[in-house]
Amino acid sequence: MRIPFIAGNWKMFKTVQETVVFVKELGGFVKDVADVEIVVAPPFTSVHSAAVAARNTNIGVAAQDLYWEREGAFTGEVSASMIKEAGAEYVIVGHSERRRLFGDTDRAVNRKAIAAIGAGLTPIVCVGETLEERERDQTLAVLDRQVKDGLDGLTGDQVGEIVVAYEPVWAIGTGRHATAAQAGEAHAHIRKRLGQWFGAGAADRCHVIYGGSVKPENISELIAEPDVDGALVGGASLEVGSFADIVTKSRPAAV
């Protein structure tokens, strides 16, 4: 029911021109891939250009964040409707860098997810523990809190359509990554909670993907886990050949 979902989070990399070149080149690499959902998340300044370059391809476009208000005196913020108009279909909310560096709380993540859904965007809701929390054996409790609070107020039908990204904070940009067994355990726990809180149908339909130093060398092992539905790729998504390789290795026939 769930085909693999591979998204590249470019963070604060790539100009408009670099974005257009990348999307067009990626389109050539993956034009025949019909069994993987492929998404790129450029900076705000490149969302529209990415969407134009991705027209008539199998590549979707995400923004990296949003603000939950529709409009107002919020200098520097971008609303869900603005992102939607620019051509995005998805938006990342709650990334650990937003939580750690910019103070996003579970409540803020919840408000952003609700705003995204209201504007017709699919939120990619990020959750994950720090190294200290893992060493204290608090991983599952942290995931419970972030999932419960981050998705508060959503219906089962809405949860079934979103993406949840498990990103252990200690594995983001560090070169370290969770083992397939660690990822599988966390993903199975998240799906169990989705089933308990939003219904079996929502849990079955919701994509739960892994993020944290994903590379062509480890994607096959990760996605072979039954509850790992894909990946949110950071550094390895900045080079088109590397990202295309991850997409190809995620195809069901390749597992």
What single string gives the DSSP state of each residue in 160-181?
HHSEEEE--GGGSSSS----HH
Q: How far apart are CA 188 and CA 185, in angstroms?
A: 5
CATH number at residue 188: 3.20.20.70
The pLDDT profile of the chain, 255 residues, written as one tens digit per residue, is: 799 999 999 999 999 999 999 999 999 999 999 999 999 999 999 999 999 999 999 999 999 999 999 999 999 999 999 999 999 999 999 999 999 999 999 999 999 999 999 999 999 999 999 999 999 999 999 999 999 999 999 999 999 999 999 999 988 777 777 899 999 999 999 999 999 999 999 999 999 999 988 999 999 999 999 999 999 999 999 999 999 999 999 999 755
Q: How far apart are CA 225 and CA 164, in angstroms?
A: 16
| Residue 215 exposed, middle or buried by CB count within 10 Å (0-12, 13-18, 19+) | middle
Report strand pairing: 90-93 vs 37-41: unpaired
Which tokens sit at 249? 């290795």
How many domains, the chain?
A: 1
Those residues with Cβ within 8 angstroms of residue 53's Cβ, 6 or more apart along the chain or in another chain: 19, 20, 23, 24, 27
Residues designated as active site: 95, 167
Structural domain containing residue 158: 5-254
- Residues belonging to the chain: 255
Which tokens sit at 211? 């993020």
